Amino acid sequence: MTTNAMTTNVREAALRPFGKPSRLWWLAITVLGAMVVGGIAAWVVQLRDGMGVAGYSDQAFWAIYIADVITFIGVSYGGAVVSAILRLTGATWRAPLVRMAEGTAVITVLVGTALILPHLGRPDRVWELLTQPNLSAPVFWDLVAVSTYTVASILFFTLPLVPDMAILGQEHGQQLGHRRATLYAFVSRGWTGAPRQRAVLAGALGLVSIMIIPLAVSVHSVLSWAFALVSGPWWHESIWAPYFVVAALYSGVALVILVVAGFRRGYHLEGLITERHFVRLGFLLATLSATYLYLTFADILPGAYVGEPSIAAVFTELLTGHLAVYFWVFIVAAGVLPLLLVALPWTRNVWGMVVASALVAPAMWVKRMLMVVDPSTYNNISGTFSSYHFTWVAITITLAAVAAVPLLLMLLFRVVPLLSIDEIEEMEEASTDYPPAEPSQSAGRDANAVGATGTSHRAAGTLGVLMLIALLGMFGVGTADPAQAATPQSASVVTPRSASVSTATGAPTITIKGVEGGGKVQLTATLTGANGQPQADAPVAFSFSTTQFGTPARLVPLGSITTDASGVAKLILGGDADHMYLPTTVGPQEFAATFTPTAADAKPITSSVTVNITVARSAYNPAPPKPLAGVGKGLVVALFAIVTAIWLTMAAQVWRVRRVTHGVQKPTTSSA
Partner 1 sequence: MRTEEQPAGPPPGNEPDKRQAFTRRKILATLGVTAAGGALAMVNYRDDAQAATTSRTATAITEAKAAKHAWCMVIDLRVCDGCKLCTLSCQQRHQLPEEQTWIKVYSMEHEGQTFPMPVPCMMCEDPPCMYVCPVGSTFRTDEGLVLVDQDTCIGSRACMAACPYEARYFNWKEPPPVKKMPLPPTPQMPVPQQKGTVGKCVYCADRLPNGELPACVSGCPMGVIYIGDLVTDVAVNGLGETVVLSEFLHKNDAVRYKEELGTNPRCYYIAGHGQSLGAGA
> Among positive and negative, which fits the CA dihedral 443, 446, 451, 452?
positive
Per-residue binder mask for partner 1 (CB under 8 A), 102-121, x = binder: -----------------xxx
> Among positive and negative, which fits the CA dihedral 352, 358, 360, 361?
positive
Question: In angstroms, what is the minimal distance from the CB of 122 to partner 1?
Answer: 4
DSSP 3-state assignment of 290? helix
Question: In angstroms, what is the minimal distance from the CB of 606 to partner 1?
Answer: 15
DSSP 3-state assignment of 596? coil
C-alpha distances (whole Å) from 253 to each of 245, 267, 280, 361, 407 are 12, 21, 11, 9, 19
In angstroms, rounded to a whole number, what is the distance separating the alpha carbons of residues 434 and 438? 10
Contact of 279 with 349, CB cutoff 8 Å: yes
Angle between helices 195-228 and 64-75 (to 10 degrees): 160
Nearer to partner 1, 173 or 632 (CB): 632
C-alpha distances (whole Å) from 6 to each of 102, 128, 282, 434, 612 are 23, 53, 26, 12, 100
In angstroms, rounded to a whole number, what is the distance separating the alpha carbons of residues 536 and 513? 18
Q: Is 519 in the site for partner 1 (CB under 8 A)?
A: no
Nearer to partner 1, 436 or 634 (CB): 634
Q: Is 136 in the site for partner 1 (CB under 8 A)?
A: yes
Q: Which of residues 348-407 bind partner 1 (CB under 8 A)?
A: 376, 379-382
In angstroms, rounded to a whole number, what is the distance separating the alpha carbons of residues 236 and 118? 25
Nearer to partner 1, 80 or 615 (CB): 615
Q: Is 291 in the site for partner 1 (CB under 8 A)?
A: no
Q: Which of residues 52-71 bind partner 1 (CB under 8 A)?
A: 52-53, 56-58, 61-62
568-572 vs 587-595, strand pairing mode: unpaired
Question: In angstroms, what is the minimal distance from the CB of 469 to partner 1?
Answer: 20
Nearer to partner 1, 171 or 578 (CB): 578
Question: In angstroms, what is the minimal distance from the CB of 112 to partner 1?
Answer: 16
**Residue 6 CA to its chain's centroid (Å):** 45
520-528 vs 568-572, strand pairing mode: antiparallel
Ramachandran angles phi, psi of 576, nearest 5°: -150, 180
Question: In angstroms, what is the minimal distance from the CB of 369 to partner 1?
Answer: 15
Burial of 305 per CB tally in 10 Å (0-12, 13-18, 19+) = exposed
In angstroms, rounded to a whole number, what is the distance separating the alpha carbons of residues 410 and 342? 28
Nearer to partner 1, 225 or 278 (CB): 225
C-alpha distances (whole Å) from 485 to each of 62, 440, 577, 617, 621 are 41, 83, 21, 5, 8
Q: Is 484 in the site for partner 1 (CB under 8 A)?
A: yes
Question: In angstroms, what is the minimal distance from the CB of 227 to partner 1?
Answer: 7
**Residue 93 CA to its chain's centroid (Å):** 34
Q: Please pick, from the candidates 23, 309, 346, 481, the single residue that binds partner 1 as defined by CB under 8 A.
A: 481
In angstroms, rounded to a whole number, what is the distance separating the alpha carbons of residues 544 and 539? 17
Contact of 46 with 61, CB cutoff 8 Å: no
Question: In angstroms, what is the minimal distance from the CB of 40 to partner 1?
Answer: 18
Q: Is 619 in the site for partner 1 (CB under 8 A)?
A: yes
Nearer to partner 1, 222 or 253 (CB): 222
Question: In angstroms, what is the minimal distance from the CB of 43 to partner 1?
Answer: 13
Nearer to partner 1, 10 or 558 (CB): 558
Number of residues that bind partner 1 (CB under 8 A): 86
In angstroms, rounded to a whole number, what is the distance separating the alpha carbons of residues 575 and 581? 9
Nearer to partner 1, 32 or 616 (CB): 616
Range in contact with partner 1 (rule: CB under 8 A) among 45-53, 174-182, 337-345, 497-505:
45-53
Question: Partners of 610 in the beta sheet?
Answer: 590
Question: In angstroms, what is the minimal distance from the CB of 45 to partner 1?
Answer: 12
Q: Is 480 in the site for partner 1 (CB under 8 A)?
A: yes
Q: Is 307 in the site for partner 1 (CB under 8 A)?
A: no
Q: Please confirm whether the linkage preceding 508 is cis (ω < 30° from 0).
A: no
Q: Please pick, from the candidates 204, 245, 248, 636, the single residue that binds partner 1 as defined by CB under 8 A.
A: 636
Per-residue binder mask for partner 1 (CB under 8 A), 409-448, x = binder: ----------------------------------------
Q: Which of residues 257-286 bind partner 1 (CB under 8 A)?
A: none
Q: Please pick, from the candidates 330, 388, 581, 591, the single residue that binds partner 1 as defined by CB under 8 A.
A: 581
Question: In angstroms, what is the minimal distance from the CB of 552 to partner 1?
Answer: 11
Total residue count of the chain as it appears in this document: 672
Q: Please pick, from the candidates 186, 294, 305, 620, the single residue that binds partner 1 as defined by CB under 8 A.
A: 620
Nearer to partner 1, 114 or 135 (CB): 135
Q: Please pick, from the candidates 33, 38, 123, 173, the single residue that binds partner 1 as defined by CB under 8 A.
A: 123
Question: In angstroms, what is the minimal distance from the CB of 459 to partner 1?
Answer: 22
Nearer to partner 1, 256 or 558 (CB): 558
Contact of 83 with 102, CB cutoff 8 Å: yes
Contact of 421 with 14, CB cutoff 8 Å: yes
Contact of 497 with 612, CB cutoff 8 Å: yes
Nearer to partner 1, 238 or 380 (CB): 380
Ramachandran angles phi, psi of 329, nearest 5°: -65, -40
Listed in sequence order, the residues at least 6 apart from 635 whose beta carbon sits closer than 8 Å to its beta carbon are 470, 473, 474, 475, 476
Nearer to partner 1, 584 or 668 (CB): 584
Q: Is 198 in the site for partner 1 (CB under 8 A)?
A: no
Ramachandran angles phi, psi of 43, nearest 5°: -65, -40
Question: In angstroms, what is the minimal distance from the CB of 62 to partner 1?
Answer: 6
Nearer to partner 1, 10 or 616 (CB): 616
Q: Which of residues 538-577 bind partner 1 (CB under 8 A)?
A: 546-551, 554-558
In angstroms, rounded to a whole number, what is the distance separating the alpha carbons of residues 564 and 34? 93
Question: In angstroms, what is the minimal distance from the CB of 475 to partner 1?
Answer: 7
Q: Please pick, from the candidates 575, 618, 638, 658, the single residue that binds partner 1 as defined by CB under 8 A.
A: 618
DSSP 3-state assignment of 594? strand
Per-residue binder mask for partner 1 (CB under 8 A), 227-256, x = binder: x-xxxx--x---------------------
> How many other C-beta atoms can be found within 10 angstroms of the C-beta atom of residue 501?
16
Question: In angstroms, what is the minimal distance from the CB of 633 to partner 1?
Answer: 6
First to last CA, the chain: 31
Question: In angstroms, what is the minimal distance from the CB of 619 to partner 1?
Answer: 4
Q: Is 44 in the site for partner 1 (CB under 8 A)?
A: no
Q: Which of residues 642-671 bind partner 1 (CB under 8 A)?
A: 644
